[in-house]
């Protein structure tokens, strides 16, 4: 049995990430796309129906799963409509713009008996997989300082919704969910959050720089995103820097899958997900060893979605984890706005 998928949105997220990754999973059939880009859909696959209106997709009884890849401010409302229409839902990050909205969506999914999942595809990046495996193996002992950068060099403000200052725009809503999700997957819920989020580029209407510290007992996690900093060995700081009681890990470059997807490479192609940038392991004696990076595999997000719908296995990201990400995103905004440390209740559902 194939799961018939309807995709809402065929911009950057839908075209570059969702459509190719969905089509890489045999159990998923990308059957329809809501977009005005009919020619592009036909070029992708003439068997895919181009749908003009969201309501038509919601009403189609043959569609089992709806994937939402639209501007961030529309995510919660579209997810609400899809769930009420009886569909399973994957929604791009952030899946809501407030913690209250996030919790309401989870409660609705439970009430209607449908699956709700958030597209945290960066859990399947080569850089994160490499560093998380080394930490789990005890390469650096107890981690005291973990630093994660997601930097891009875009000094000129561009005319697009992600940078126009509208609700859901800005680097913290765009890249922050990736950084937060990876950190929480590794270390769990922080005790508190402190943040500085602002716009530094001339003419920027939305935040383009975010520096967030998650506070744990005996540990600090630094999350940083910028639109005016070359990443990795292009001249900026490493993607990951991990310091522990037995040494350090450095991963310099970003996972290659986004660039590969833009170039037309697809899961299963030669070199798909292959990351030539090794992990540096610096031990307590000062010696450095290079370890090959893991292979990225973002298509596994949708493989696990298919397995969850067909056999009831675990989602790639649980709704509780997705809500915790939203809580940290919101706490960081509060911290930046009020210039204070924001403590988090240790019961995630409070």
Looking at the structure, tell me whether residues 112 and 213 fall in a common domain.
no
Looking at the structure, tell me whether residues 166 and 253 fall in a common domain.
yes
Which of 94, 119, 144 terminates a domain? The answer is: 119
Dihedral of CA atoms 317, 320, 323, 324 in degrees, nearest 10, equals: -90
* Contact between 52 and 28 (Cβ < 8 Å): no
- Domain range for 46 is 3-119
* Contact between 231 and 153 (Cβ < 8 Å): yes
Q: How far is CA 15 from the centre of its chain?
A: 16
Non-local CB neighbours of 105 within 8 Å, separated by 6+ positions = 76, 79, 80, 83, 95, 96, 116
Report if residue 310 sits inside a domain: no
* Contact between 143 and 217 (Cβ < 8 Å): no
- Report the pLDDT value the prediction gives residue 349, as an integer from 0 to 100: 42
Residue with tokens 């005890």: 138
Looking at the structure, tell me whether residues 148 and 243 fall in a common domain.
yes
CA-closest candidate to residue 328, choices 207, 209, 202, 183: 183
Looking at the structure, tell me whether residues 227 and 288 fall in a common domain.
yes
Looking at the structure, tell me whether residues 136 and 111 fall in a common domain.
no
Looking at the structure, tell me whether residues 115 and 127 fall in a common domain.
no
Looking at the structure, tell me whether residues 18 and 113 fall in a common domain.
yes
Looking at the structure, tell me whether residues 282 and 176 fall in a common domain.
yes
Report if residue 345 sits inside a domain: no
Report if residue 348 sits inside a domain: no
Q: Report cis status (omega within 30 of 0) of the bond before 331.
A: no
Looking at the structure, tell me whether residues 100 and 147 fall in a common domain.
no
Looking at the structure, tell me whether residues 276 and 181 fall in a common domain.
yes
Residue with tokens 């700081």: 237
Task: Report how many domains make up the chain.
Answer: 2
Q: How far apart are CA 206 and CA 235, in angstroms?
A: 24
- Show pLDDT as tens, one digit a residue, over the chain (350 residues): 799 999 999 999 999 999 999 999 999 999 999 999 999 999 999 999 999 999 999 999 999 999 999 999 999 999 999 999 999 999 999 999 999 999 999 999 999 999 999 999 999 999 999 999 999 999 999 999 999 999 989 999 999 999 999 999 999 999 999 999 999 999 999 999 999 999 999 999 999 999 999 999 999 999 999 999 887 666 678 999 999 999 999 999 999 999 999 999 999 999 999 999 999 999 999 999 999 999 999 999 999 999 999 999 999 999 999 999 999 999 999 999 999 999 999 764 44
Which of 67, 102, 119 terminates a domain? The answer is: 119
| Beta-sheet strand order (sheet of 342-343) | 288-291, 279-283, 247-251, 240-244, 143-151, 219-226, 209-216, 192-198, 342-343
Residue with tokens 């720089």: 209
Looking at the structure, tell me whether residues 41 and 141 fall in a common domain.
no
* CATH number of residue 86's parent domain: 3.40.50.720
- Report the pLDDT value the prediction gives residue 236, as an integer from 0 to 100: 75
The end-to-end CA distance of the chain, in Å, is 40
């Amino acid at each position: 049995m194939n799961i018939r998928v309807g995709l809402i949105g065929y911009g950057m997220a839908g075209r570059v990430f969702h459509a190719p990754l969905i089509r890489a999973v045999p159990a998923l059939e990308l059957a329809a796309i809501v977009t005005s880009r009919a020619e592009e859909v036909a070029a992708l696959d003439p068997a895919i129906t181009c749908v003009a209106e969201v309501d038509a997709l919601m009403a189609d009884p043959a569609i089992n799963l709806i994937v939402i890849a639209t501007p961030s401010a529309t995510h919660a409302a579209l997810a609400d409509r899809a769930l009420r229409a009886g569909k399973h839902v994957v929604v791009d990050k952030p899946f809501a713009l407030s913690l209250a909205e996030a919790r309401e969506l989870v409660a609705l999914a439970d009430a209607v008996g449908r699956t709700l999942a958030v597209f945290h595809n960066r859990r399947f990046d080569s850089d994160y997989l490499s560093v998380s495996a080394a930490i789990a193996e005890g390469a650096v002992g107890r981690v005291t300082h973990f630093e994660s950068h997601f930097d891009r060099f875009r000094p000129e403000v561009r005319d697009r919704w992600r940078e126009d200052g509208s609700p859901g725009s800005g680097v913290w809503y765009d890249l922050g969910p990736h950084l937060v999700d990876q950190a929480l997957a590794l270390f769990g819920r922080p005790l508190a959050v402190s943040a500085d989020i602002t716009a530094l580029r001339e003419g920027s209407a939305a935040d383009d720089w975010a520096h967030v510290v998650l506070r744990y007992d005996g540990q600090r996690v630094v999350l940083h995103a910028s639109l005016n900093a070359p990443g990795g060995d292009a001249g900026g700081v490493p993607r990951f820097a991990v310091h522990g009681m037995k040494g350090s890990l450095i991963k310099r470059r970003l996972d290659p899958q986004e660039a590969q997807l833009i170039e037309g490479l697809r899961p299963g192609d030669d070199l798909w997900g292959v990351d030539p940038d090794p992990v540096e392991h610096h031990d307590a004696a000062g010696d450095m060893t290079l370890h090959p990076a893991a292979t990225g595999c973002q298509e596994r997000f949708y493989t696990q979605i298919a397995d969850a719908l067909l056999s009831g296995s675990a989602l790639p990201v649980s709704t509780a984890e997705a809500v915790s990400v939203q809580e940290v995103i919101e706490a960081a905004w509060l911290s930046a706005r009020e210039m204070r440390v924001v403590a988090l209740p240790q019961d995630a559902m409070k």
